[in-house]
Amino acid sequence: MRDTFLPYGRQWLDEDDVQAVVKVLQSDYLTTGPVIAEFEKAFAQYVGAKYAVAIANGTAALHAACFAAGIGEGDEVITTPITFAASANCVLYCGGTPVFADIDARTYNIDPEEIRKRITGKTKAIIPVHFTGQPCEMDKITELARKHNLIVIEDAAHAVGADYKGRMVGGISDMTTFSFHPVKHITTGEGGMITTNSEELYRRLLLFRSHGITRDKSLMQGNHGPWYYEQQALGYNYRMTDIQAALGLSQLKKADRFLARRREIAEMYTRAFTDCPGLIVPYQQDGCHSGWHLYMIQVRLDRLSCDRRKIYEELLQENIGVNVHYIPVYKHPYYQDNGYQAVTCRNSEQFYERAITLPLFPKMANQDVQDVIRSVKHVLERNGK
């Protein structure tokens, strides 16, 4: 057993990150100022998008994207149940109805065929989630969207730096949302980003994040003087601060290094666990490179004398900070109490019963990785049939 607890995720901050924040603290701007624009430009270039909008957090990014997409009462939006609740809640915030499509049992991502089965005359958008950082099958999803005139909002909270068939996640669909929570690839403390190639969507996103208010004279219906501004929509105060943006800019410079280390750790896990009879290791699609936000194993219940919970609890006792991502969204009490009692996604539920998230973050030392591998193998052997 390890002497100290190893969490499943953790930020990596250096002195240059600290100094970037201090520089802003000593400047004239603390909230939305010039560093926001710098961060947006740099991030858009990184993912290959025309526009980027910095925002308060990943959930706010999803909410803003649904607003920009025009989601409203009577609209249905198809997404996966294996995600954080925000991927579906954002639809409810706008008055729409989330519709859950099952995952592919190999990739753990939303299955395009299951999306197709759920498209109706009410469907307005699709929110594919690049779960664990592995890109969804965007060619098939894009084809469905074009055929049915649907908007695609990629939830890439796990996928900074991931690429799909040579294209970076963030420059492919109508909009893509990102999260900069401390356990993600780069952090701004709390924060998020939305990328798009559409100028119209970009302007709607800007409006929404700042109370629905504009000072752009070319967009205003009137002009009473140099002080004048207009509220043109019911927006929110979802602005990011320059303090956060400065940290984000500093972190973005290290994103490729962080990503390379995540991939090294994932490869070490896969080599160690591929032949373990009690485990299923993550499958990776050809032509894609995962962002490896999470490394998810599945325990083979047919090879064990216990359930997933016992394996989980024994790993915690070994000081290995495992987690589970995620409870199928429709299983939460709120959804069960609001019309989702009859929803069943067989692959998602089976995955949830067997899934365990192992620690994975760039600051892990090789010894940390070996501690995880040793503990997992030890616990499995102890509970094998």
CA 172/CA 134 separation, integer angstroms: 15
Neighbours of 189 (CB within 10 A): 16
Residues classed as catalytic:
184
155 — phi, psi (to 5°)? -95, 105
Q: Radius of gyration (Cα) for the chain, nearest Å?
A: 22
DSSP for residue 366? H
Q: Hey, what amino acid is at 252?
A: L
In eight-state DSSP terms, residue 238 is -
Kind of pairing between the strands at 175-179 and 355-358? unpaired
Measure Cα distances from 8 to 261, 320, 347, 367 in Å.
Answer: 15, 8, 24, 15
Please list the residues that pair with 195 across neighbouring strands.
52, 176
Short-list 80, 69, 180, 68, CA closest to 130 = 80
